[in-house]
A = this chain, B = another copy of it.
Amino acid sequence: MTTIALDAMGGDHGVATTVSAACQLLKETSSKDSKVKLILVGQQDVIADALRKVNVNVGKYLSIQHASEVVEMGESPALALRGKKDSSMRVAINLVKEGVADACVSAGNTGALMATSRYVLKTLPGIDRPAICSTLPTIDPDTHTHMLDLGANVDTSAEHLFQFAVMGSVLVAAVDDIAAPTVGLLNIGEEEMKGNEQVKQAAKLLENSHLNYYGFVEGDDIYKGKVNVVVCDGFAGNVALKSSEGVAKMISHYLKKSFNKNLLTRIAGVCASSVLKQFRDRMDPRRYNGASLLGLRGIVVKSHGGADAFAFKHAIKEAIIEVEKNVPQQLEKEVEDVLVGQRAG
C-alpha cells in the first residue's frame, strides 16, 4: 500500500480542490491491485466539512490528520518555517519523515514547501541543494522532457548544475524506464564559446561524467524533445516555464477569440469542435501538474498553486509513481556512486 500525505489547506483554492482531487483519485484506484491511502492534513473541521459536501466518509483509504495552522501563499518561507510548526504543510512533511506516509503533495507556497522539506527531511548525501523538476510536453506525443531547476535556486554554481543533472537523470531512468537518459545543458547558443561561466564549467563536468551528456540545448529545444533532461539554474528555468505558460495562454486566447468573432466563425467552431477539443486535451497543462522536489530524503511533490482537482490529482499520481519506483532510494544510490566517484576522480 502506498500512503500519500496531502497538504489539504495549500493552494489558491484549499480544501475545495484537494479534497475533491483526493476523492476522485480514490475512486479511480479503488478497483486496482495497488491500493493507495490518502491522508488529508489540515484543519479537522474544515476538511470534514468539505468531505461532507461531496458525501465521502473517512475510512481505510482516507483519513484526516489535524494541523491547526495554514501557510499563506505569499508568506515568507523563513517565517513559515520558524513560526508555523503546526501548519498543514509542515505536518504533511513530518508524516513522510516519520515513515507514516511515503510521500507528500502540496499546492502551497513553493518557497515555504522547499524550506520546510529541506529542514525536516534533509538533503541526500552529496546533494547541496534540492531542485524542482517537472515534465514538459514535446512535439512528439510519445515523449516528454524533464527540466530542472525550475525555481528553487537562483545563484547556482557549476557543481550544483552537475548535481541537478545527476538527479534528473536518475529520476527519468526510474520513472520513464530509460537506461541512459540524455542530458542537455540549457544555454543561449549551441556553440561552446557561448553562455555564462557556470554553464561553461558545468559542461566540462558533464563531459567528464558517466552521464549521457548531449551538450548545450536552447530554449526551443525543450519542446523538441531533443533530450530527456534539461538542466538549468532556477532563474532561467522558472523564466522558461512561466514564459511558456504565458505564450500558451495567449495562443489559446486568440484561438478562442478567432472562433468567437461572429456567427460564421462560430459555426466554423462548431464544425471543428471535436478537433479543437482533442487539441486542447493534448495541450492541457494540468496533465503535467506535479513537480518533484528532488534531492531530499523523501518524496515531496509540488502542485501548481492554482491547480484544480483534475490537476491536483495528477500531482498525487506523480507522487504515487515516485513511491512505486523507489525514486529516493535510487537517487541515494546513484548520487552516491556518481558524485562520490566524481569527487574521488
A residues engaging B (CB < 8 A)?
74, 76, 111, 137-139, 151, 154-155, 186, 188-189, 191, 193-197, 218-224, 232, 234-236, 238-251, 253-255, 258-259, 261, 265, 267-269, 271-272, 274-276, 278-279, 282-283
Contacts and interface: CB of A to CB of B under 8 A. Distances in A.
Nearest to A77: B193
A196 B238 CA distance: 12
Contacts of A242: 188, 218-221
5 contacts: A154-B196, A196-B235, A222-B246, A258-B282, A268-B272
A176 B9 CA distance: 46
For the residues of A in contact with B, the DSSP-based class is helix
State the number of copies, please: 2
Nearest to A138: B250
A247 B241 CA distance: 10
Contact of A243 (B76, B194, B219): B219
A238 B258 CA distance: 30
Q: Which 9 A-B pairs have the closest CB atoms?
A: A219-B242, A220-B246, A219-B243, A223-B246, A271-B271, A188-B238, A240-B243, A272-B272, A258-B279
Contact of A239 (B137, B197, B236, B248): B236
Contact of A246 (B154, B221, B267): B221
Given A254-B283, A267-B271, 20 more contacts: A76-B193, A111-B189, A138-B250, A195-B235, A219-B240, A220-B242, A220-B243, A223-B243, A223-B247, A224-B246, A236-B236, A241-B243, A243-B244, A244-B244, A255-B255, A258-B282, A261-B275, A268-B272, A269-B272, A272-B272
